[in-house]
Structure 1
Amino acid sequence: MTLFINGRFRQQPMTGVQRYATQIVLALDALAARGEVELDCQLVLPPDAPLLPLRAITQVHHGRLRGHAWEQVDFARIARGGVALSLAASGPVFQHRQVAVIHDAAIYRFPENYSRSYVLLHRVVDRLLTRRATIATVSDFSRGELAHWLGVPANEIVVAPNSAEHLDAAPDDGVFATLGLADDRPFFLTIGSLTRNKNLRLAIEAMRDQTAAARLVIVGQIDGGVFAAEMPDAPEQVILAGRLSDRAVTALMRRARALVFPSLYEGFGIPPLEAFGNDCPVLASAIPPVREVCGDAADYFDPHDAPALAALMRRALDDDGTWRADRLARGRARLGHFSWERSAATLAAACVAAARQT
């Protein structure tokens, strides 16, 4: 039986969900090249979607539709003869042999953070998927959340976490001149969108208490989109960098005093792991999924307490090197708990089990 991988994510902007899907497919390809995947794999792509650099997994463009219509009609038609793997929080709702990854329960916990149409669509899709597909997610925390909101027994939800091996590109140091960051200028880095879950307001508020020389670089798409939020007024210390290449983000992480990760809600949260992999300390929100990912490698603050974050930022600015060295060692150790290939193998095993269903 063939494993048909839902390639709709290849036509979507690169956020954490699309990053996950991309890295899982690349890891599956590495496993397949070594003969470690039981099913033949095919990445099915919408019209004109870009290919991935794969060796063992075949790639085909299929159908004429786009978006949700492509997924529910064109992809569903080809996947009917095998088992489907949908990695980006959606999937063909009438496909019985399927593993579908739902990354979090944010639309249930915080529906006000999203447009009404987005919430309604995903609630309908989620409910239909739970009746037919094997549900997978990215953390123990999200497994508990989805079990609660979707009525699926927690022990039936597969956990296949994110990882961070992907962010190892040669750094693009040209980003410092582009953003006006001189060699001796201290700065913090945060990565996120305008959804209220990302809590950028807290990082900006905490920055007001820092020395005038320091900067906060915010990387990410700053527009509304499906997110019901607005960009707060920011002091001159805040640099809105927009979307950057992996090489530019790598360079920023390696020079930043710390990554600031102030999220109110996450299914997992990739940026702290990416920071650990690039020797960048992490100041993180003390919420359960972030603690699950970071363990003892991050310094935590209440995501509603700007003065607490501001105090941690001042400590990072005043550090003589001792604090940083300790946090880098802890971060490197934490990375060993995660692997794209282990997560890909977990999902492949779930797909084999789904393929055996009648």
Structure 2
Amino acid sequence: MTVFINGRFATQPQSGVQRYAGEIVRALDVLAGDGGWPQMVLLSPPAAPAAGLAHIAQRWIGRGGGHGWDQWAFARGARDGIALSLAMSGPLLHPRQLVVLHDAAVHRFPAYFSRSYGLGHRMLERGLARRARIATVSEFSRRELAAVLGISLADIVLAPNGADHLHGPVDDGVLLRLGLGARPFFLTVGNLSANKNLGLAMRALRRIAGDNVRLVIVGERRGRIFGPTQIGDDPRAIFAGRLSDAEVGALLRSARALIFPSRYEGCGLPPLEAMAAGCPVLASDCGAAIEVCGGAAEHFGPDEEDRLAVLMAAALADDGRWRSARIAAGFDRALHYRWASSATVLAGVCAAMDQPRAVAA
């Protein structure tokens, strides 16, 4: 038996979903080298880069990319084994497959997405729920997907994000390149979609006195997928665009806190990254944020700009004791999230799929 991994994620702009897929594949590569697991092959579209794996073979198949590649090239390439898709999509007609759906946002908040993207993904996910085994990244998303797709909680596999991928060297030069110097600053990480709710952080910033503080916004807007967003403006905000892991790691180590104001999240990778890097977290109380942070963060409502401003002011006035306590709690919480653990869960489910799953009528 061979597990064929869907490699289309590597051709997409990286967000939390693509990060998840890449880290899980690297963790599966380590498992494959330990022996005792099914053979694994990464099937990729022609435009995908080489993954640099030691134990999992990579093959480039088909033409083009997109959902058409999933439904035809990947389905055909994986026809004699188990199909594993890690990034919100998979081939509808494959009889033995595991698909990771990260959240139910296209069902709960269709206005956050373009009409074509939202409609297409709602139809795809409903079809996959009838034909594939579904996995997700939090207990919150497990409940959400069970509700919107009409499947049992017990049938949804839990394989969360990890927090152990930003441990390489950091690039402290990013502080100078962004003009931060010794200025106190807060950090947000994520694209500029309406769901990320970055306008709340901007409004809270306007309530903070002083010209010295900065808000650094890492990420880019993907307007083709996400609907319009208005986050406002403030001369103290720095739009840093997409940065490397080394640059993000340096910012996390120096920021007064990460601000995570999302209205809806299936898991929430930035708070995990922050806690693992020793950065305090100010997070909304929506979606999976409270579950993931597990008491290690300070929380506010997604419309509570006053509450967020109070938390930011406290972080700026901190004498070091609050920061030390938040960092210690964050380190402890991050230990619960490991890519190897989730990869082991997913590999185990694939290994058990030795019989075709009946297609619902």
TM-score grouping bracket, smaller chain normalisation: over 0.9
Query: How many equivalent residue pairs?
Result: 356
For the Cα contact (< 8 Å) 1:192–1:220, is it kept in 2? yes
Structure 1 unaligned runs (5+)?
none
Residue 322 (1) aligns with residue 321 (2): yes
Partner of 1:175: helix, strand, or coil? helix
Residue 262 (1) aligns with residue 261 (2): yes
For the Cα contact (< 8 Å) 2:7–2:44, is it kept in 1? yes
Q: CA offset at residue 131 of structure 1?
A: 1.3
**Structure 1 CA distance, aligned partners of 2:336 and 2:231?**
36
Q: Compute the TM-score of the two structures, normalised by the length of structure 1.
A: 0.97
Q: CA offset at residue 36 of structure 1?
A: 4.2
Q: CA offset at residue 65 of structure 1?
A: 2.9
Deviations 1:149-192 (A, max 9, x none): 0001111000100011111121111111211111x200000011
Tell me what 1:33 maps to: 33
For the Cα contact (< 8 Å) 1:65–1:74, is it kept in 2? no
Residue 247 (1) aligns with residue 283 (2): no
Tell me what 2:192 maps to: 194
Tell me what 1:337 maps to: 336
Deviations 1:211-269 (A, max 9, x none): 22100000001342311123433110110011001110001000000000001100000
Partner of 1:89: helix, strand, or coil? coil
Q: Compute the TM-score of the two structures, normalised by the length of structure 2.
A: 0.97
Q: CA offset at residue 335 of structure 1?
A: 1.2
For the Cα contact (< 8 Å) 1:143–1:157, is it kept in 2? yes
For the Cα contact (< 8 Å) 1:224–1:230, is it kept in 2? no
**Structure 1 CA distance, aligned partners of 2:204 and 2:168?**
31
For the Cα contact (< 8 Å) 1:135–1:156, is it kept in 2? yes
**Structure 2 CA distance, aligned partners of 1:310 and 1:228?**
27
Q: Which amino acid aligns with 1:34?
A: D
**Structure 1 CA distance, aligned partners of 2:355 and 2:55?**
23
Q: CA offset at residue 68 of structure 1?
A: 1.1
Structure 2 unaligned runs (5+)?
none
Q: CA offset at residue 336 of structure 1?
A: 1.5
Q: CA offset at residue 356 of structure 1?
A: 3.1
Q: Which one is further off, 61-70 or 265-274?
A: 61-70
**Structure 2 CA distance, aligned partners of 1:35 and 1:241?**
43
Tell me what 2:51 maps to: 52
For the Cα contact (< 8 Å) 2:266–2:287, is it kept in 1? no
Q: CA offset at residue 96 of structure 1?
A: 1.2
Q: Report sequence identity in percent.
A: 53
Residue 13 (1) aligns with residue 10 (2): no
Tell me what 2:23 maps to: 23
**Structure 2 CA distance, aligned partners of 1:232 and 1:333?**
33
Q: CA offset at residue 26 of structure 1?
A: 0.4
**Structure 2 CA distance, aligned partners of 1:57 and 1:151?**
35
Deviations 1:311-339 (A, max 9, x none): 00000000000000000110010012111
**Structure 2 CA distance, aligned partners of 1:233 and 1:127?**
36
Within 5 Å, give how 1:86-165 maps onto structure 2.
Answer: 86-165=85-164
Tell me what 2:346 maps to: 347
**Structure 1 CA distance, aligned partners of 2:354 and 2:200?**
46
For the Cα contact (< 8 Å) 2:189–2:219, is it kept in 1? yes
Q: Which one is further off, 81-90 or 332-341?
A: 332-341
